[in-house]
């Protein structure tokens, strides 16, 4: 599965919202030294009930707009 998301770092709590078919993911981790990306992978693994190693950031490693691949 491939999804496009927008990440909002430094949020109050971790949550996912869908608006107009697009996903926004709020993370309480800062966008420094890859901390938000690590938290994003942990959050998505828990949300979709897969291993962290099954989630890959395909595009947007240093951007708020990302393309994520999740392998079942």
The domains of the chain are located at: 2-70
The burial class, CB within 10 Å (0-12 / 13-18 / 19+), for 57 is middle
Per the confidence metrics, is the pTM higher than 0.85? yes
Question: Residue 13 and residue 58: Cα distance in Å, rounded?
Answer: 25
Q: pLDDT at position 27, please?
A: 96
pLDDT tens-digit series, residues 26-68: 999 999 999 999 999 999 999 999 999 999 999 999 999 999 9
Class at the top of the CATH hierarchy for domain 2-70: alpha beta
Q: What stretch of H or E contains 44?
A: helix 35-48
Q: pLDDT at position 22, please?
A: 87
């Amino acid at each position: 599965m491939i999804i496009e998301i927008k990440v909002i770092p430094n949020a109050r709590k971790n949550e996912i919202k869908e608006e107009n078919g697009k996903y926004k993911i709020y993370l309480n981790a800062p966008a420094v030294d890859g901390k938000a990306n690590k938290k994003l992978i942990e959050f998505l693994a828990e949300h979709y009930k897969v291993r962290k190693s099954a989630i890959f950031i395909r595009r947007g490693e240093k951007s708020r707009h990302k393309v994520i691949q999740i392998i079942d």
